Every structure is written in structure tokens, then in C-alpha cells.
Amino acid sequence: MSTRPLAGVLGHPVAHSLSPAIQNAAFRAAGLDWRYLKLPVPPERFTEVVRALPASGYRGANVTIPHKLAALELAGEATGAARAIGAANTLIFRAETIGADNTDAQGLLEAISTPVAGVRAVVLGAGGAGRAAVWALIQAGAGRVAVWNRTPEKARALARDLGAECAGHALEGGPDLLVNATSVGLDPSVPAGAALEALGLGGSEPPATVVDLVYRGDGGVTPVTAWATRGGARTIDGIEVLVQQGARSFELWTGRSAPLDAMRAAARSG
């Protein structure tokens, strides 16, 4: 067992993740001798790997695609937010159990940084990130929250679970805010036009504010962010959301205030 406290990010894929750079910078800034690692884990091995982590010195882990729903199911304890959302992105390894929380919701609102009360919002995607975004916006008082997914049945299920609406297309109702919570745009080999068409955004003008939870580890601009910028929208990229949710995770693991400036600098420098 390692005597150095460890944390990591569980995902499949996870090679593009900036979380190690962000969290290791945070540990250094806080004077903590911790180390944060990438943990690529296929779905069939997720439970086995997570249960083995505490014995290897891990104090906690972040969870990304496609494990957020499985992380909640595995946990022995969970916060009200994680249970309400139905997904977890943060695990805390305690002496007797595994705790689960969802910092995606608060991270999204912190990244948006302006009030969302009364706004009309559409969330693209019905996975763990989409669930967190819908729940966060509803809790923050958005006037209308609709969810769109390429598989309509999943959108309907999420809307039913969380009390949202189901959108027939990505920009239905002329939203003020759009959140891309799909993985579209993550693969740089997919042409930008094809990515936008997959989301139903091709040939459309963006709403006033666009949040793209996707980011690229190579620093490239994602198709949704480029589309929003061309259209004059206020854009919030996935890196800022990652920093904000990562700050909440850091605080849960360490009990320290997160050094946001150091985390943001590390994220932007790659």
C-alpha cells in the first residue's frame, strides 16, 4: 500500500483528461504530498477496480464517461444531490465505506457565474453529465429546462425522472441557454460540420449563452464552442466547468479550500 495519498480519474476513454494536471497543481499549491493519476477502466472492470483502490492508497476519485451511473450504484453512501441526479462524479474512500457525490451540478453553475433563474434552457445529452446539468438548472430556478438526446427514449426518461421537458430538437422553443452534455466534439477526427449535424445545430444560430462540457486535451476548440463563438454567443467551455467541479472534489477529499487560480492556470496550459 502506498504511503502517499492518491486520487485519480476513472473513465473509458480517459487519455484526454486534464484532471491530473489540474489536481496535481492544486495539491502542490496547497502544500499536499498527494498524487493524481489517470485510471482507464472499461465498464466490465469498474466495480472490481474501484473496490481495490483504497487498499492501494487512494483517498478519492473522479468519475467520467461512461461510469457515473455505476459509481452511484456502487457507493455505500451518497449525498442528496447525487441521489437526486442519479449519477456520481466524485468518490470518497472512507474507512468503512465508499461515499459518492456529484460536483458536476455545482461546477456548472459556478462556471456559468450569472443567475439562471427564469432562463429557458436546453440540455443536449441524457447521460450522467446531462442529468447533473438538468438538475442543477432546475434547482437554480430556470424558467424552462428541456432535454434533447439522439435517442429520444432516453431524453423522455430523464425528463420524467427530474421534472424537465423533452425537446424535439436541439433549439426548440428558442432557448436563452444551451448546454452540450454529450460527447460529440471529443473526437478531433470527426469533421466539425458532422458534429454539429449530429446535435441538430447545423445551420442554426446559437442562443445567448452556450456551455460546452466537452473539451480537448490538445487545446483545440470544439465544434460547439466554435459555432457559438461565430454566432456571437457568450461561451463557457468544458475546461472552466472541469476546474469548478474539480475544485469541489478537491475540497471533499482534502478538507482544504481549493486553489482555483492554480487549477485554472494548469488547465489552460495543459
CATH of the domain at 172: 3.40.50.720
Say yes or no: 98 and 184 in one domain: no
Say yes or no: 141 and 52 in one domain: no
CB count, 10 Å around CB of 18?
Answer: 23
Say yes or no: 194 and 265 in one domain: no
Quick one: which of 127, 89, 107, 110 has its CA closest to 7?
89
Residue 64 lies in a domain: yes
Say yes or no: 87 and 43 in one domain: yes
pLDDT in tens, 92-117: 999 889 999 999 999 999 999 999 99
Q: Which of 68, 144, 216, 248 is catalytic?
A: 68
Count of domains in the chain?
2
What is the pTM assigned to this prediction?
A: 0.92
pLDDT in tens, 30-76: 999 999 999 999 999 999 999 999 999 999 999 998 999 999 999 99
Residue span of the structural domain in which 66 resides: 6-102+242-269
Residue 59 lies in a domain: yes
Residue 1 lies in a domain: no
Say yes or no: 92 and 23 in one domain: yes
Alpha-carbon gap, residue 145 to 121, rounded angstroms: 5
Alpha-carbon gap, residue 117 to 176, rounded angstroms: 11
Is 68 a residue of the active site? Answer: yes
Quick one: which of 129, 137, 89, 131 has its CA closest to 249?
89
What does the block give as the cell for 167?
425537446
Say yes or no: 197 and 175 in one domain: yes
